[in-house]
A and B are shown apart, each in its own frame.
Chain A
Amino acid sequence: MSLEEYKGVFIFAQQVDNEISNIALELLGKAKDLAKDLDEKKVTAVLLGDKVGNLVDKLAEYGADRVIVVDDPELKDYRTEPYTHALASVINEYKPEILLVGATAIGRDLGPRVSSRVHTGLTADCTQLEIGDFPLTVAPGQEQLHQQLLMTRPAFGGNTIATIACPNFRPQMATVRPGVMQKIAPIAGAKAEVVDYNPGFKANNCYTEILKIVKEVSTAANIQDAKILVSGGRGVGSAENFKLLDELAEVLHGTVSCSRAVVDSGWKPKELQVGQTGQTVRPQVYFAIGISGAIQHVAGMEESDIIIAINKDENAPIFDVADYGVVGDLNKIVPELTKQLKAAIAAKAE
């Protein structure tokens, strides 16, 4: 078995409840770029499930040239063992050069199992993928390999960036962070070559039995997990007026949080409080709206990647920590911001 036999860019097309997950479409977008850099003609999606034939066309619209479908009642709900068996069998049969899996709860479980079973390397939670030379700088006597998949991921809690290659084994496998890669604009009516493949399933003692699947709707958002926080202080003025922040958060898929003054006024529950006596948060974007920015609050959010402050008092200490600031009336600024963001997001989606 030589490395040259491995050809093509494959993605694992995650589906749950007979619905293609968003990450699968993002992976297709990236896979098309990688295929072009490798002078490959085709991008292949691997679709596992029970009676999922109807999903093939959607994958085609988003860029899959070929879909390998493993359709079996054993694959109805995600379980580690049958899915690993299915995906590893596909690899052994079709020998892809690259296999991308979404870094979802399912993908993070499936990726390592498959990579161990087919004995290859896996890079987890990648944020950047490109085709290039490895190693970048060649030591004397070392051979430089071309057209390798260079997988880049944050390590040590995001404090360093590591670029990893897998030169000696195939396929080169990566799980990819959701939301990073771009979908292509869907091509209506596109068709893909469909290949049915079934490795056969023999239940063994690794087959878990699913007793119940619970879909929980979380009520109080966990503000520590939020990527975008829209935080309001006393300046918001009332519990009712928080609807301005709710609308902004909705457009950005963010979460609303608040300062202690808001909790004390009874406008929001204590779980949403940011600060020394509340939660410490590190979102990518933190909107501080009508928050003066006393150290008791700032201590809980100054690690945010980007801080945007809106306050009518230009001397408010919040502006000392803000990356961007607007001095003015939040009642005018926030709705306008929401409106413009809505328009911008709609324009981007077209």
Chain B
Amino acid sequence: MDFLLDQKHEMARSLFREFAEKEVKPLAIDTDETETFPRETVNKMAKAGFLGIPVPKELGGQGCDPLTYVMCVEELAKCCGTTSVIVSAHTSLCIDPILTYGTQEQKEKYIPDLASGRKLGAFGLTEPGAGTDAQGVQTKAVLSEDGKYWTLNGSKCFITNGKEADVYIIIAYTDVVEDKKGRKQKKFTAFIVDKDTEGFTFGTKEHKMGIRGSATYELIFQDCKVPAENQLGARGKGFPIAMHTLDGGRIGIAAQALGLAEGALDRTIEYVKERKQFGRSIAMFQNTQFQLANLATEIDAAKLLVYRAAEAKRTQDRYSVEAAKAKLFAAETAMDVTTKCVQLLGGYGYIREYEVERMMRDAKITEIYEGTSEVQRMVISGDLLK
């Protein structure tokens, strides 16, 4: 058991922190206020190599482990929830499945551009009628008679990095099979779809409570022709691919939640030392002290779960349960910590300029996306009771 980070990881962390403080923090308020996608920051992150951290060097990435990537998301989230989720969706939900399931050709075609940040990635699974119940996907893909291309019809909603991304992983149903009891079951397949593919357009941009600069769009497929060589993994194996991809994505979101909680606590500690009431700083009051103690302890517990999940991704084939526990606990910690931090700042906590209210708004989504907290509990209890 070793709970200390080695020098390599410590160095990486200070690099991420410096970047976040210098490049991300100054724009965070404006990004939230105007709901604009921080394209400039994404370009800077691409230059700094943040968009290909866990990608092997021979494919143009940084060749680091999942823990390093997790720390990057965490440090970005301390300053700006929007920026952190851009990196997380791109890396965990688009690069990772191509790395894990792609053919050599697919990897060589897509990964270098994605890892270098020349292209941005996204992942399309959710539909209006298929959220937690992902089996309800209605988007359909039909193989042409000559077997050269697939035709996609349907739509996806709430897609992070939508319209801004160049490469999309899309899950569609391709077959209907009957099980032993004669019940019809859909079989899904994953596809890599380029932004400029004919018949692929973007619908509504969602206006959200938090992570307001993150581009959340509807994707529309109308007779969209995808070349057969863009099928990702085996036909009919799309569902396990999506689920395994989400296991990794959950570690990224857990890291985002952790960063939001840490960022809110850091600001609150600064504030309570400066703020005076009844002739002394409010840090002198025992309520403040005990609250901070609770929050710091919760954050540490979340952190160990998140880092353990990142390590499990490095060392194990399956890490669903570790990822689910990390995301569940970190997301609920983020919600609890940010809410209490707003309280500790009093009236100022409710003012946008003081930033903790934004972190509270940003925190709520971590309990919902990439599997709600309830889904994480299903995963964990399913493992306990198997």
Evaluate contact between A261 and B153: CB separation under 8 angstroms. Answer: no
Query: How distant is the Cα of A15 from the Cα of B354 in the complex, in angstroms?
Result: 68
Q: Which residue of A lies closest to B157 (CB)?
A: A294
Say yes or no for A279: interface residue by CB 8 A criterion.
Answer: no
Evaluate contact between A234 and B220: CB separation under 8 angstroms. Answer: yes
8 Å CB contacts to A: which residues of B138-155?
Answer: 138, 140, 153, 155
Query: How distant is the Cα of A296 from the Cα of B126 in the complex, in angstroms?
Result: 14
**Contact code string A5-25 (vs B, CB < 8 Å = 1, else 0):** 000000000000000000000
A315-B204 contact in complex given A234-B220, A294-B129, A295-B128, C-beta closer than 8 Å: no
Query: How distant is the Cα of A296 from the Cα of B127 in the complex, in angstroms?
Result: 11
Q: Which residue of B lies closest to A317 (CB)?
A: B129
Say yes or no for A260: interface residue by CB 8 A criterion.
Answer: yes
Say yes or no for A305: interface residue by CB 8 A criterion.
Answer: no
Evaluate contact between B204 and A264: CB separation under 8 angstroms. Answer: yes
Evaluate contact between A292 and B203: CB separation under 8 angstroms. Answer: no
- Give min CB distance, B368 to chain A, whole Å: 16
Q: Which residue of A lies closest to B127 (CB)?
A: A294
Q: Which residue of B lies closest to A313 (CB)?
A: B153
Counted as pairs of residues, one from A and one from B, with CB atoms less than 8 Å apart, the total is 27
8 Å CB contacts to B: which residues of A298-350?
Answer: 313, 315-317
8 Å CB contacts to A: which residues of B146-196?
Answer: 153, 155
Say yes or no for A238: interface residue by CB 8 A criterion.
Answer: no
Question: Given A261, A313, A316, A317, which contacts B204 in the complex, CB threshold below 8 Å?
Answer: A261
Query: Which A residues are CB-close (under 8 A) to B220?
Result: 234
Query: Which B residues are CB-close (under 8 A) to A198?
Result: none
Q: Which residue of A lies closest to B153 (CB)?
A: A313
Query: Which A residues are CB-close (under 8 A) to B138?
Result: 292, 315-317
Say yes or no for A265: interface residue by CB 8 A criterion.
Answer: yes
Evaluate contact between A261 and B129: CB separation under 8 angstroms. Answer: no
- Give min CB distance, B343 to chain A, whole Å: 32
- Give min CB distance, B174 to chain A, whole Å: 13
Query: How distant is the Cα of A315 from the Cα of B138 in the complex, in angstroms?
Result: 8
Q: Interface of chain B, helix or strand or loop or mixed?
A: strand
Q: Which residue of B lies closest to A234 (CB)?
A: B220
- Give min CB distance, A145 to chain B, whole Å: 58
Query: Which A residues are CB-close (under 8 A) to B204?
Result: 260-261, 264
Question: Given A265, A296, A316, A317, which contacts B203 in the complex, CB threshold below 8 Å?
Answer: A265
Q: Which residue of A lies closest to B186 (CB)?
A: A315
Query: How distant is the Cα of A234 from the Cα of B127 in the complex, in angstroms?
Result: 15
**Contact code string A134-168 (vs B, CB < 8 Å = 1, else 0):** 00000000000000000000000000000000000
- Chain B CB within 10 Å, residue with most, of A264, A294, A296, A316: A294
Query: How distant is the Cα of A295 from the Cα of B129 in the complex, in angstroms?
Result: 7
Query: Which A residues are CB-close (under 8 A) to B128?
Result: 292, 294-296
8 Å CB contacts to B: which residues of A51-70?
Answer: none
Q: Which residue of B lies closest to A295 (CB)?
A: B129
Query: How distant is the Cα of A260 from the Cα of B203 in the complex, in angstroms?
Result: 10
Query: How distant is the Cα of A12 from the Cα of B47 in the complex, in angstroms?
Result: 84
- Give min CB distance, B370 to chain A, whole Å: 21
- Give min CB distance, A289 to chain B, whole Å: 16
- Give min CB distance, B383 to chain A, whole Å: 31
- Give min CB distance, B163 to chain A, whole Å: 13
Query: How distant is the Cα of A261 from the Cα of B129 in the complex, in angstroms?
Result: 15
Evaluate contact between A264 and B203: CB separation under 8 angstroms. Answer: yes
Query: How distant is the Cα of A265 from the Cα of B218 in the complex, in angstroms?
Result: 12
Query: Which B residues are CB-close (under 8 A) to A315?
Result: 138, 140
8 Å CB contacts to A: which residues of B114-141?
Answer: 127-129, 138, 140
- Give min CB distance, A320 to chain B, whole Å: 10
8 Å CB contacts to A: which residues of B192-233?
Answer: 203-204, 218, 220
Query: Which A residues are CB-close (under 8 A) to B153?
Result: 313
Query: How distant is the Cα of A317 from the Cα of B139 in the complex, in angstroms?
Result: 12
- Give min CB distance, B151 to chain A, whole Å: 13
Query: How distant is the Cα of A264 from the Cα of B153 in the complex, in angstroms?
Result: 19
Query: Which B residues are CB-close (under 8 A) to A260?
Result: 204
- Give min CB distance, A259 to chain B, whole Å: 11
- Give min CB distance, A329 to chain B, whole Å: 13
Evaluate contact between B203 and A261: CB separation under 8 angstroms. Answer: yes
- Give min CB distance, B365 to chain A, whole Å: 19
Query: Which B residues are CB-close (under 8 A) to A261?
Result: 203-204, 218
8 Å CB contacts to A: which residues of B245-302?
Answer: none
Query: How distant is the Cα of A315 from the Cα of B154 in the complex, in angstroms?
Result: 11
Q: Kindly list the 5 A-B residue pairs having the minimum CB-CB distance in the complex, ordered from nearest.
A: A294-B128, A264-B204, A294-B129, A296-B128, A264-B203
* Residues of A participating in the B interface, judged by any CB pair closer than 8 Å: 234, 260-261, 264-265, 292, 294-296, 313, 315-317
Given A264-B218, A294-B127, 14 more A-B residue pairs with CB atoms under 8 Å apart are A234-B203, A260-B204, A261-B203, A261-B218, A265-B203, A292-B138, A292-B155, A294-B128, A295-B128, A295-B129, A296-B128, A313-B140, A315-B138, A316-B138
Could you list 5 A-B pairs, sorted by A, with CB under 8 Å?
A: A264-B203, A264-B218, A265-B203, A295-B129, A315-B140
